[in-house]
Amino acid sequence: MGDFLTRRGTMNALRARPILPRSIPMPLPRARVCLTFDFDAISPWLVASKGGAVAPGVVSRGEYSARVGARRVLALLEKHGIQATWFIPGHTIDTFPERCAEVVAAGHEVAHHGYCHESPDRLSDAAEREVLELGIDRIKRLTGAAPVGYRAPGGASSQRTMPLLVEYGFRYDSSLAASDYLPYWPRVGDDADPRSGYRFGQEVDVVEIPTQWNMEDWTYYEYAPGFSNGGRAPSHVYRAWTGEFDFMYERIPGGVCVLTLHPESVGRGPRLLVLEQFIQHVRRHPDVEFRLMRDVADEFRAEQAAVGGAR
């Protein structure tokens, strides 16, 4: 851990922060919604095989993501004039370059999601750095610029992940869940001692835009051995998503509602219709805007600067 905190001046980006009062000093809309898509395609199934042969039936589930799901999602977003953030593993960029190029051509943001959907908490120090660099390289080739956002595959960040994001200049992360509708500054250097109280580390110059498992599609819909059982009806998912949005709209002014979606899951017929119904539900409320994640991060920084908590 210490090595990561001293590389390339990373330590200069760390300092303790006071708890700031909640304030909306800038003209934010009453509610913001981020539609985010983890365009994993074949990569999770490949890494789950640990480099062995992957059954054609398993490969086909990931292939559906690019062949059908992503195309339907792109068409839906175009229909409603929405730009979204796509977290794309480098493996997907290498495997389906044309479809990924369509994402960029439509004006969507591309953010980092590993190379082959590797869980950072299962990697060595060197391997996590290598995976981060591979993903950055592929996104640079695709978009012409390094990504500013990151989401850990499976939400499985390691103790090294946040220091690496600081070192490589990421502006935001969307892997943690210490809040639900409000961004915050994440930390490094926590001390988890089971014989004493948990000791919190230092906050860093990365905006955390939190996620929730109940605001994604995979665990509701899909079956994956050892991970999710799925089987929920689209009508159930619609009630869950709109319930979260409605609570935020009423109780958390200036909040951010983040949906974490997968083209191979939400791109299937009735599920896509439910996503469209959610979009329509959101737009029936006044003063709501769809946002890219990078814009939410910039807004949080501006907001914090206005109350004296800027980085």
Q: Which two tokens stand for residue 232?
A: 């929920």
Which is nearest to 34 in space by CA: 280, 284, 219, 279? Answer: 279
pLDDT range class, residue 5, cuts 50, 70, 90: very low
Q: Tell me what the mean pLDDT of segment 235-245 comes to.
A: 97
The rounded mean pLDDT for the chain is: 90
Give the H or E element holding residue 276.
helix 269-283
Sorted by sequence, the CB contacts under 8 Å of residue 293 that are 6+ apart come out as 34, 36, 85, 109, 111, 149, 172, 174, 209, 258
Q: What's the pLDDT tens digit per position in 124-152?
A: 999 999 999 999 999 999 999 999 999 99
What is this structure's pTM? 0.90
| 120/110 Cα distance (integer angstroms) | 20
> Could you confirm whether domain 32-306 is CATH 3.20.20.370?
yes
Q: Domain limits of the chain? A: 32-306
